[in-house]
Structure 1
Amino acid sequence: MKRFIQSPAFIIIIALVILNFLDGDFSDPMGWLIQKLILLPGIVIGLSFHEFAHGIVSYALGDPTPKLQGRLTINPAAHMDPFGFVALLFAGFGWGIPVQINPGYYKHRRRDELLVSLAGVVMNFIIAMIFALGLRFLFMQNPTWLMSSMGDIVTQILMSVVSINIVLMIFNLFPIPPLDGFGIITELFNLRKYDWYYKIYDKGFLILLALILLGVTDKVLGPAVSAVLGWIINSIIF
């Protein structure tokens, strides 16, 4: 932790918090708190199931490491990084504890590492679809109740689970280390054979934070999330 606090990554995250403050995100503390409480279930579910998916697929492919480290569970305590969770709430960018794998156990390394990389984003999509179907079921069974104060809160929470999981899915597909998208293109195109691969990989987290700070990721993330959410809302929920 001490090394991280002294690193450029910590400085960039603090900069993100300051930018959010200047944008007025904390001008209404009670409103901010209520919004975060509504988002909290989606954040916890999304991160926990994402990391669980990586672990269970790696274990199914012959790697005992996730099981030995207690990661074959959906218990958030096994997957939530305290600092990453706080950063997510205040900076709008955070992370869970990455599942450690040992590719030496895989029979087909490139194929199996590709499957493990895909597992997290596929799980986020599945979670989004399950909660979207749950919301559709509630609309079909008792639309009047959903218009009440309690029903409105339930609707917001369920919709936040859907939206947050779509955000996690698309964000993790960015081809930047340490995100899953980089793992996917690494195995598809066998990037390890290139000299620049390890240089990019080592600096990936800083590159990612810089792109977030400059607003580059938002330009891709926003339209992509809107498109997928629009499809889910129009095709699944209503």
Structure 2
Amino acid sequence: MPFVIISLLVAFTVHEFAHAYTAYKFGDDTAKDQGRLTLNPVHHLDPIGTLFILLAGFGWARPVPVNRRNFANPKLAGVLVSLAGPLSNFLIAFIAFGILFFIIGSAPSFAIELLNMMVWLNVLLFVFNLLPFPPLDGYRIIEDLAPPHTRMKMTQYEQYGVLLFLILVITPLGDYSIHPFLSVMTRAVMTGFQSIFSIFL
């Protein structure tokens, strides 16, 4: 459990910081003005989400506020801001996998366990957040790429998308839809990491 909590705190903090930093670089100070341009976990944690981390080993962070009207190119900047979060999790997983790959024969067991958890959880968050369901980043990317009339329709029915997403995640229906997809994609990313670092053997 401690390794799960540590890994989630790092993953959530870097994920939200990546959103805030990318938005700031494209001209939106909203997150910065609210103290979110930081790697201090305290500024990113949601009280209920944090409670779930402590009790269940899984939770969520506070979404970073973004005002797309501050972007010179809202469509491009919006996509990159949304993509920054999942990519930060991918980068954490890649680095942790690389460290694990090179030290696995000599590191203490607790370090191996922590790095394994960092890799697995960050790969899972990378894949999970790219799912095309609100309020995930994958949905926001599609929303930004969609033409205006389609985006209006998406906004209109977004609440139903959230409900569908919750049903698929929480109920047994997820065992036949989202969960198998996450499992396959997570293993695929791990296999890719293994192939890349095997070059150095």
For Structure 1 versus Structure 2, the TM-score category normalised by the shorter chain is 0.7 to 0.9
Distance of aligned partners of 1:194 and 1:188 in 2 relative to their CA distance in 1, 3 Å threshold: closer
Match of 1:156 in 2: 113
Displacement, 1:94? 2.9
Whether 1:229 aligns to 2:190 is yes
Say whether the 8 Å CA contact 1:177–1:200 is kept in structure 2.
no
Extract structure 1 runs of 4+ deviating beyond 6 A.
none
Mapped partners of 2:63, 2:29: distance in 1: 15
d(CA) in 2 for partners of 1:84, 1:123: 20
Q: Determine the C-alpha separation between the residues in 2 that align with 1:210 and 1:191.
A: 28
Is the 8 Å Cα contact of residues 143 and 151 (structure 2) preserved in structure 1?
A: no
Contact (CA 8 Å) 2:23, 2:66: kept in 1 or not?
yes
Deviations 1:34-84 (A, max 9, x none): xx2121221111111000000000000001111100011111111111212
Query: Alpha carbons of 1:212 and 1:192: their partners in 2 closer, same or farther (altered >3 Å)?
Result: farther
Structure 2 equivalent of residue 175 of structure 1 = 132
Larger Rg: 1
- SS of structure 2 residue aligned to 1:164: helix
Distance in 1 (CA, whole Å) between partners of 2:132 and 2:150 is 17
| TM-score, normalised relative to structure 2 | 0.88
Contact 1:185 1:191 in 2 (8 A): no
Mapped partners of 2:21, 2:130: distance in 1: 19
Give the TM-score taking structure 1 as reference length.
0.75
Matched, 1:188 2:145: yes
Identity of aligned residues (%): 35
Instruction: Report whether the alignment pairs 1:104 with 2:65.
Output: no
Number of aligned residue pairs: 195
Deviation at 1:130, TM superposition (A): 1.3
Contact 1:52–1:71 (8 Å) recurs in 2: yes
2:181 to 197, 201, 220: 220
Q: Tell me, yes or no, if structure 1 residue 209 matches structure 2 residue 166.
A: yes
Q: CA deviation at 1:185?
A: 1.1
Q: CA RMSD in A?
A: 2.0
Distance 1:91 1:209 in 2: 17
Which deviates the most, 82-91 or 227-236?
82-91
Residues 153 and 69 of structure 1: is their aligned pair in 2 closer, same or farther, counting only changes over 3 Å? Answer: same
Query: Does the alignment pair 1:49 with 2:23?
Result: no
Q: Distance in 1 between matches of 2:187 and 2:120?
A: 9
Conserved in 1, the CA contact under 8 Å of 2:5 and 2:53?
Answer: no
Output the CA distance in 2 between the equivalents of 1:217 and 1:43. 20
What residue ranges of structure 2 are gaps of 5+ in the alignment? none
Of 81, 89, 95, 2:46 maps to 81
- What is the alpha-carbon distance in structure 2 between the residues aligned to residue 81 and residue 191 of structure 1? 32
Unmatched 5+ stretches in structure 1? 1-35
